[in-house]
């Protein structure tokens, strides 16, 4: 166990430790302490003496006026070491009084950065995301989503709001958009909601993509559970997308599908093992149609979900492995979330996935000030935002690399290989292969183009 050891050496040593122009070492402060592996790389730290400011005050209370003295005859010094876990209590008890200088032994526990959670303020802005995605380089190299269809499967897009917030217009492909039965609004004219946030976030890297509005989350066909009413319409939506993809010339097929939704509870599903189960069942019709759309050439992205261990969404009810169903499909990109500082947000679901062990695949940016779809000051958050941010990057790549040149599986592999690793051992269940890294991805594409040109 790592510990901090408080010592009260002679005043001249305390003065040397406290002096800004001197550097005292652990060896200067104390000799060897039996049973303690001292950390001699740790520079001793002076610790002031605290006393109640009012005579007769409680010497152990912080809830009163206090005086702090760094005078050499008052202050003490902290050094760092490690005590074996064997007989820890006995060894710790023997240290105070050792040589007359040890006055206390304290735990030195691991501390970690507090992760971003729901309800916390934005971390950066969409302009930071634009910079982190290296959008100026994407633009300079002609990767802007031109000629690429980008489907937002969500609550529908309000194009006027997105245009106003981003300061530039974009294309809604109304003719190729699709709505569930009973949804009558015109594509691009839905109320401002989750779908507008997703469109905004996808536009950051793919400003010239043609957006296909698929408001599948507005399904009016509700059954006994949430998924009863949704998944059947999602199947119909993906069937529509397959028709669109088949209609594209084979040589230039480019369809990216962004899905910021998923199942939160096993109560919405048949039990695992039952033939009709969705969450764990690759034979479920939706999981099959997802695989078929990918095989036809579509890049399909799903949010990993907001059931991270540190601050999960209140709806999360899977006791473990919350990346379920198509969100964990082996032929999709499951996107985890990091803030603009590169730290996983606490609500981003961790793997393993249920259909495929190695989920999430990669992470992208979320929890930034962006679309204002939920009001000023409210961030674009959740893996719901990270997914379309990544979808925009994929759409940008497809500008020059259609599925005939790089299959969806090959592009996923490139994203894995070029991601900025956030662990020391490659893939992990927090970040997947890491954060999608635009410069590394573009460099890999350049090498691929050069190799292709030589053939």
B/e letters for 439-452, b = 16+ CB within 10 Å, e = fewer, are ebbbebbeeeeeee
Question: Would you call 240 a catalytic residue per the annotation?
Answer: no
Q: How far, in Å, CA of 44 to CA of 327, rounded?
A: 50
Q: How far, in Å, CA of 204 to CA of 368, rounded?
A: 12
DSSP β-bridge partners for residue 363: 336, 435
Would you say how long the chain is, in residues?
Answer: 455
**CB contact at 8 A, 213 and 188:** yes
**CB contact at 8 A, 306 and 314:** no
Q: How far, in Å, CA of 209 to CA of 222, rounded?
A: 32
- Cα dist. 359→16, 323, 393, 437 in Å? 53, 7, 19, 18
**CB contact at 8 A, 359 and 351:** yes
Q: Which tokens sit at 113?
A: 């950065």
**CB contact at 8 A, 256 and 173:** no
Of 315, 361, 366, which is closest to residue 334 (Cα–Cα)?
A: 361
The residue to which tokens 């958009």 are assigned: 177
The active-site residue, picked from 128, 144, 154, 299, is: 154
- Cα dist. 213→169, 182, 233, 375 in Å? 15, 15, 14, 22
Q: Which tokens sit at 204?
A: 């950051």
Q: Which tokens sit at 264?
A: 């939160």
Q: Which tokens sit at 354?
A: 């249920």
Q: How far, in Å, CA of 327 to CA of 350, rounded?
A: 12
Interaxial angle between packed helices 194-203 and 382-398, expressed in degrees from 0 to 180 and rounded to the nearest 10: 40
Question: Would you call 246 a catalytic residue per the annotation?
Answer: no
The active-site residue, picked from 128, 161, 194, 428, is: 194
Question: Would you call 184 a catalytic residue per the annotation?
Answer: no
Residue 393, Cβ density class (10 Å: 0-12 exposed, 13-18 middle, ≥19 buried): buried
The active-site residue, picked from 213, 381, 384, 437, is: 384
Catalytic sites, residue numbers: 154, 194, 384
């Amino acid at each position: 166990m790592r510990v901090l050891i408080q010592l009260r050496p002679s005043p001249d040593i305390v003065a040397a430790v406290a002096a800004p122009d001197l550097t005292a070492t652990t060896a200067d402060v104390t000799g060897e302490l039996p049973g303690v592996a001292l950390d001699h790389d740790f520079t001793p730290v002076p610790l002031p003496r605290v006393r109640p400011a009012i005579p007769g005050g409680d010497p152990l209370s912080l809830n009163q006026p206090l005086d702090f003295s760094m005078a050499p005859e008052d202050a003490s010094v902290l050094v760092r070491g490690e005590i074996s876990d064997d007989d820890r209590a006995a060894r710790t008890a023997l240290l105070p009084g050792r040589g007359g200088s040890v006055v206390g032994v304290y735990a030195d526990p691991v501390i970690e950065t507090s992760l971003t959670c729901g309800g916390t303020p934005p971390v950066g802005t969409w302009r930071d995301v634009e910079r982190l995605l290296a959008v100026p380089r994407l633009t300079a190299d002609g990767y802007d989503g031109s000629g690429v269809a980008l489907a937002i499967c969500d609550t529908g897009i309000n194009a006027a709001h997105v245009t106003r917030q981003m300061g530039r217009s974009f294309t809604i492909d109304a003719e190729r958009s699709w709505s569930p039965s009973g949804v009558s609004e015109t594509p691009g004219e839905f109320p401002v909601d989750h779908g507008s946030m997703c469109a905004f976030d996808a536009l950051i890297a793919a400003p010239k993509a043609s957006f296909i509005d698929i408001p599948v989350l507005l399904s009016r066909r509700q059954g006994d559970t949430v998924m009863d009413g949704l998944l059947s319409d999602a199947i119909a939506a993906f069937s529509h997308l397959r028709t669109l993809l088949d209609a594209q010339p084979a040589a230039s097929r480019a369809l990216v599908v962004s899905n910021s939704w998923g199942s939160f509870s096993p109560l919405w599903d048949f039990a695992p093992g039952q033939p009709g189960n969705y969450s764990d069942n690759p034979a479920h019709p939706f999981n099959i149609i997802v695989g078929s759309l990918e095989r036809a050439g579509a890049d399909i992205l799903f949010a990993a979900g907001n059931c991270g261990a540190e601050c999960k969404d209140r709806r999360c009810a899977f006791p473990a492995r919350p990346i379920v169903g198509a969100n964990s499909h082996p032929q999709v990109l499951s996107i985890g979330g990091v803030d603009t500082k590169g730290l996983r947000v606490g609500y981003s679901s961790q793997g393993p996935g249920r259909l495929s062990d190695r989920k999430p695949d990669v992470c992208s940016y979320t929890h930034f000030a962006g679309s204002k779809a939920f009001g000023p000051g409210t961030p674009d958050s959740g893996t719901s935002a990270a997914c379309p941010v990544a979808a925009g990057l994929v759409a940008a790549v497809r500008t020059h690399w259609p599925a005939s040149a790089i299959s969806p599986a090959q592009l996923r592999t490139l994203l894995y290989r070029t991601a900025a690793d956030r662990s020391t051992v490659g893939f992990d269940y927090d970040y997947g292969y890491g954060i999608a890294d635009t410069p590394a991805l573009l460099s890999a594409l350049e090498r691929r183009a050069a190799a292709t040109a030589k053939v």
